[in-house]
Amino acid sequence: LTRKTTLDLGYRYLNLGKAVTDDTYTGKQDSGAGLVSMGGSTDIDSMALTAHQAKIGLRHSLARDENREYRLGDSFQFESSYGLGYGDYDLEWSVSDFDNDPKDKSTMRFEDMDSLTFLGDWQLNYNKLIIDGKARFAWILDGDYRAASEDASASVVQLEGVANDDYIYSGSVGFGYEILTDANTSSALAFRPMVGVGISEQKFRMGDSEYLSGPEAGTEAPLNSTYESRWLSAWLGGEAELVGLDYRFTLRGEFHQASYDAKAQWAHDLTLQQPNSFTHKADKAQGVRLMGRAERDIGNAGRLFMSMEYDSWRAYNGSDTNAPLTSGQSGTLNQVNLDGYSLGAGLVFAL
């Protein structure tokens, strides 16, 4: 990228009690962007505004080359950001048709899974071609679970307990192309259509619980069991970004076509195999991910960012396979729902 910037400064003579006799400020840049020309004669009152406008124009024209939104011709830009945040997630699944009896039903819900979230983002831009990577790791601090089962005799057993000390992880790689849709001397708007692949995993650990109904109502149940789930997806999405002299606002949306599988270790049920007591699988799954982000320049240290993300995933009409010690049993995985959000903040670094 070849850029030439020329500033032609006039002179200013100021004598107390007299008006300015001549005051010019002109700027010219032949890179095709930013400040093209400005100048003329002015009085004392308008001089500050004129100089300020010239400064804005020059800073913006430099930003066109230094920031990834304003590359002209061949260029290379790499940015990375890291942060911490808070997340809250819920996961629920339901199954039926154990032993070919449609009256057999079972549901489980993990709710209010509060977590400490670590965020990492990387983006490589070469000549407006984008390679984008994101990673999220949430360490679950506290949460609850509720389970209910109903057999052919309409007998219902319910229990609840504490779920914590495990994790939620997600990662994705995206590819896109940057389109600069609008630019002026103080801001610009860019849009990036994107495609990619992703993975999202959850591992929930169930601690001590208490039966709420059924023959053992009021008694404790030391479950010490785990449920691990995974979503593999291909996604289509887009990103819009508004960039100013010292700020950025970004909105991003992704639609995921996914598959779902899970396995559980039901350590409290000695009639099931260990560690894989049953499995879930569904090829019909979708997910939506929405992200918003605000950034502010803080000098040579980089940029400070704040972000919010929302996830909603669904799986339907899958299989549920039990693994008893004697022989396997199959059922239907009716539905899986995963919803969550996270709030984060951190720093952006650019090369």
Question: Across-strand partners of 112?
Answer: none
Q: Is the pLDDT of residue 306 over 90?
A: yes
pLDDT score for 213: 63
Query: Which amino acid type is present at position 76?
Result: F
Residue, of 147 and 217, whose pLDDT is higher: 147
- Residue 100 pLDDT class (50, 70, 90 cuts): low
Residue 118: CB atoms within 10 A of its CB come to 17
Question: Across-strand partners of 310?
Answer: 290, 341
Percent of the chain, pLDDT > 70?
67
User: Please, where are the H alpha helices in 15-154?
Assistant: 44-66
Q: Is the pLDDT of residue 337 over 90?
A: yes
Burial of 44 (C-beta count, 10 Å sphere; 0-12/13-18/19+): exposed
Cβ–Cβ < 8 Å for 41, 47? no
In whole angstroms, give the CA distance from residue 84 to residue 221.
35
Residue, of 342 and 44, whose pLDDT is higher: 342
Residue, of 88 and 25, whose pLDDT is higher: 88
Closest CA to 202 of 266, 264, 273: 264
pLDDT score for 185: 66
pLDDT score for 277: 85
- The pLDDT tens digits of the residues spanning 166-187 come to 899 999 999 999 887 776 767 8
pLDDT score for 261: 96
Q: What radius of gyration, in Å, describes the C-alpha atoms of the chain?
A: 29
Q: How many residues does the chain have?
A: 351
In whole angstroms, give the CA distance from residue 341 to residue 291.
10
**Quick check: helix, strand or coil at residue 65?**
helix
- The pLDDT tens digits of the residues spanning 10-59 come to 433 333 333 333 433 333 334 333 333 334 433 434 333 333 333 333 33
Integer angstrom CA distances of residue 347 from 65, 81, 82, 92, 241: 21, 6, 6, 34, 17
Q: What does the buried/exposed string (b/e) look like for 73-93 if buried means 16 or more CB atoms within 10 Å of the residue's CB?
A: eeeebebbbbbebebbbebbb
Integer angstrom CA distances of residue 126 from 72, 131, 188, 196, 243: 11, 9, 19, 17, 19
Q: Is the pLDDT of residue 103 over 90?
A: no
In whole angstroms, give the CA distance from residue 122 to residue 350.
10
| Mean of per-residue pLDDT scores for the chain | 76
The whole model's pTM is what? 0.74
Q: Is the pLDDT of residue 328 over 50?
A: yes
Residue 240: CB atoms within 10 A of its CB come to 15
pLDDT score for 75: 72
- The pLDDT tens digits of the residues spanning 249-266 come to 999 999 999 999 999 988
Percent of the chain, pLDDT > 90?
43
pLDDT score for 211: 66
- The pLDDT tens digits of the residues spanning 111-140 come to 999 999 999 999 998 888 999 999 999 999
